[in-house]
Amino acid sequence: MEMKQFLAVAKPFSTEKRGTYSFTVDSDNTLSVYDDVAGHFTTCHSVSKLVRNRIISQELLRHPCPECGKVRIIDTKNGPRGTCDCADRSWTLVDALK
């Protein structure tokens, strides 16, 4: 399973303040955050599905279509995807971060 790493502003831990954290997302939109205490990436248990989708959507907006330079976020049952008007395709965050 392919995973891609990126930085995002969030509050992934209930005991920590909102800040910039290192996240990974895999091809099925499972979001993990780097835990400084544990020393590895861990599943974001305190992040709701809505917040997870917002984090992924914000990162998708940074990766527009290479042909037209635009991106529109669509929601699917598996989470957010990017799409544009110039091509009949959509992409996940993992695709965008290749």
Average pLDDT over the chain reads 86
SS3 content of the chain, % helix, strand, coil (to 5): 15, 40, 45
Decide: 26 and 36 in contact? Cβ < 8 Å: no
Q: Whole-model pTM? A: 0.80
Identify the pLDDT of residue 1: 58
Beta-bridged to residue 72, according to DSSP, are 83
Tell me the backbone φ, ψ of residue 4, rounded to 5 degrees: -125, 145
Reading the chain (98 residues) residue by residue, the pLDDT tens digits are: 577 899 999 888 888 889 999 999 888 888 899 998 899 999 877 788 888 889 889 888 888 888 888 888 988 877 888 998 887 778 888 888 87
87's tokens: 């091509």
The sign of the dihedral angle between the CA atoms of 87, 50, 33, 62 is positive
User: What pLDDT does residue 32 have?
Assistant: 92
Compute and round to an integer the Cα radius of gyration of the chain: 14
